[in-house]
Amino acid sequence: MAAGSDPNALQGHDDSQADMMQEQCILVDSSDNRIGSETKLNCHQGDGILHRAFSVLLFHGGYELLVQKRSDDKITFPSVWANTCCSHPLDIPGENEDAVSGVINAAKRKLHQELGIPLQQLEQIDFQHIGRFQYECRWDSIWVENEVDHVIVAYVNKEEIQIDPNPNEISEARWLNVGEVWDMISGKGIWKDELVAPWFKLLYNEFLVEFLPELPLPRDDVVHFGEVDMDGNSVVPGQNLMDTIALHREHVEEVIMSSLDKMKQERLHGAMTHLFSGGGKRLRATLPRLVGEAVGEAHAGHYTLGASIEIIHNFTLVHDDLMDQDPIRRGLDAVHVAYDDSTAINAGDAMLAVAFEILAESTNIDSDKLAFLVRSIGEMVRNVADGQQEDISFESRDKVSEEEYIAMITGKTSVMFETCAGTGAMLAGASEDVVRNMESWGLNLGLCFQLMDDLIDITGDTKTLGKPAGSDIVQGKKTLIAIHALQCGDDMPYFHRAYGSGECSDEELLNAVQELHESGSIRYAKDRAMHHHSLAHQCLDKLPDSPAVSVLRELTDFQLIRIN
């Protein structure tokens, strides 16, 4: 039974709806692999249990969509407007074998039961499976949705299809044109005071809005949204994650600042500590400890390890800002601006030295593990330098391939996450297989991070970013977004004028960003980020469930709303 579930929760509810809460849903992991079954009641109570679901969208001509309002009798999300039909495949023959055919068979069963569409008509409809997404949304203190939702689309003739809604399931059904659907999703006009299902908003924005009346190509990956509110907006990860990071941040920052106090030269010490005064969640600093707690025995040595990697990370930022001539970092003047170029270079060099020095001095790191840590971190620094040099070389090249860009960010950004995770696991006494698995998790986490960072540079604002918004476009950075856009030809005049211009007006930059949306370049980069996000979750699926692993899952989802 789900944590917090109440066997008396069905008292006072409609008998028919209460009976269906005993149906057996299919339990899945975050990659949609079947792992068991449980009653619909237990899947939707308390913390909920991740299970398989489906959402059907019936279109007339690609321009009209059949939507429904869930009845007042529904136990979960009553009186909420949603797509044509949404429910669950059950742990029964025909629905519990192959995932795609199972949800299509379940969709036919529910379209008949809810909307009264004759089974013979349903058998004639060509249902197309276009993707899956994971989300969690709470209705109230008792009920919650926690699903991997399969999106199923079909085109029908509304004049021929027979619809006779079941009032126990649906209070109203209507056909809306795509403009009216968008008003519904956006809460405009007559929809301002209506509740619209969060899963409908998520799937429409993710899979359909940029493609209708055509359909997108089917996607194999699971798009992870994590926890969302009723508007479909990401919810800040749970307090458990925030509390855990805050607890470890306090300890690791103490190690960082005491380590940097080794530098007695006042101006150089100020330059070395400058970026640390800008705050931040200290993701890389706390990551080794979080991984250690998830896979083995975490201890004080993880704080020293995290401090070492965080100091190196900040050393790379100091030099990176100088090379790129970025004036702002974390809302502060970059070190080369606050001090000068020579001091920034010197501060970075000293920070690198201190990072290795504190590892060798730590009494909490066994000597038999020290060589592995030094070798891993040294390799990380070398790969970061390699990636940075490749990034520099891209500036003078007309063409950069997607493969070259991914290789560059793997070295420049992702390898640091990979090292945090791998060394954190090894220091905790994990087996070699677990260490390699956590390295893979960290690598994909880092790739997701950098690709999302590229997106946010274009879609964010200067205050939120801590650096000028759109600077990647103006500087002509060869990001995945730009690489895709440059392959789209010349039909993007604003982008081509702004790209690599060194400066442009806010209006020109806004128009360039709009062209990136219309060309699909932003969508393409987001899809790639979500792919690596899914791979990261697959690595976590190999670990036994525990509170510490749940923290890593929340951390993986948190990448989607930016960790700095």
Q: Residues in the chain, how many?
A: 564
Nearby residues of 159 by Cβ (< 8 Å), 6 or more positions away: none
Task: Decide which of 47 and 355 is more confident.
Answer: 355
| pLDDT 10s digits, 364-376 | 999 999 999 999 9
pLDDT per residue as tens digits for the range 3-55 = 444 556 777 777 888 888 899 999 998 889 898 999 999 999 888 899 999 99
What's the pTM? 0.67
Average pLDDT over residues 458-487: 75
CATH node for 15-227: 3.90.79.10
Distance CA 267, CA 262 (A): 13
pLDDT of residue 462: 47
pLDDT at 560: 63
Q: Give burial (CB, 10 Å; 0-12/13-18/19+) of 361.
A: exposed
What superfamily would CATH give domain 239-561? Farnesyl Diphosphate Synthase (1.10.600.10)
Max distance between CA atoms of the chain, in angstroms, equals 83
CA 528 to each of CA 32, 302, 459: distance values in angstroms, whole numbers, following the listed order: 19, 32, 17
Residue range 147-154: mean pLDDT, rounded = 96
The two three-digit tokens of residue 168, written as one number = 């126990």
pLDDT value at residue 238:
60
pLDDT for 469 equals 61
Question: Same CATH fold, 239-561 and 15-227?
Answer: no
Res. 428: pLDDT tops 90: yes
CA distance 294 to 550: 9
- How confident is the prediction for the chain on average, in pLDDT? 90
**What are the tens digits of pLDDT across the range 169-223?**
999 999 999 899 999 998 899 998 899 999 999 999 888 887 777 888 888 888 8
- The pLDDT of residue 476: 87
What is the 3-class SS of 467-509, one letter each residue?
CCCCHHHHCCCCCHHHHHHHCCCCCCHHHHHHCCCCCCCHHHH
Are the C-beta atoms of 274 and 256 separated by less than 8 Å?
A: no
DSSP 161: S
Mean pLDDT, residues 330-339: 90
pLDDT for residue 272 is more than 60:
yes
Query: Domain limits of the chain?
Result: 15-227, 239-561
